[in-house]
Amino acid sequence: MKLKQLSIFLENKPGRLTAPCRELADAGINILTMSLADTEQFGILRLLVREWEKAREVLEKAGHVVKVTDVVAIEVADRPGGLAEVLEAIEKCNINVEYTYAFTFRRGDKAVLVFRFDRPDAAVRTLQTCGINVIGGVELYERSSD
């Protein structure tokens, strides 16, 4: 149920974000979703792609420092309180959310969010017992190519 996210260290300078995007594009790899955390001096680019192993190889070959992290994609009801319900379920189990970001696509009345938990396996179990839909890689990548 966990997804492999690629993180790349970037300096906060003009043009630095373009390079990895171009390298992936040239390798025919589509970015499903991404987020950028930044400070004044440096940033961390986080990416979800279908072929993460190939993407990692491409990025490392281009000289980037790449980290692979387990993240969880969760369906969240797109209505007031939808996200709060998910977070409340997680909080009860003392699981921390390190960060979260959204997919650009949605399905019906559901939005899809990416979560980085400090304990991803425990988070998946908790969410499933609470009836919250954790989306697996295959399902996610099929949806995104609809």
Residues in contact with other proteins by CB under 8 A are 5, 7, 9-11, 16, 37, 39, 41-42, 44, 46, 63-67, 69, 98-99, 116
Q: Which is nearer to other proteins, 12 or 104 (CB)?
A: 12
Give the nearest distance from C-beta 110 to other proteins in angstroms.
26
Long-range contacts of 63-69 (CB under 8 A, 24+ apart): 64/8, 64/9, 64/20, 65/8, 65/9, 66/6, 66/7, 66/8, 67/6, 67/7, 67/8, 68/4, 68/5, 68/6, 68/7, 69/4, 69/5, 69/7, 69/116
Cβ(73)–Cβ(135) under 8 Å? yes
Identify which of residues 64 and 75 has a Cβ nearer to other proteins in the complex.
Answer: 64
When the beta carbons of 96 and 129 are compared against other proteins, the nearer one is 96
Provide, rounded to whole angstroms, the least separation between the CB of residue 69 and other proteins.
5
* Cα 132 from Cα 47, distance rounded (Å): 23
Which of 1/47 has CB closer to other proteins?
47
According to DSSP, residue 109 is labeled: T
Neighbour tally for 28: CB within 10 Å:
9
In the complex, the smallest distance separating the C-beta of residue 33 from other proteins, rounded to whole angstroms, is 15
Least distance to other proteins from the beta carbon of 102, Å? 17
Q: How far is the CB of 49 from other proteins (least distance, A)?
A: 15
Choice between 5 and 33, CB closer to other proteins: 5
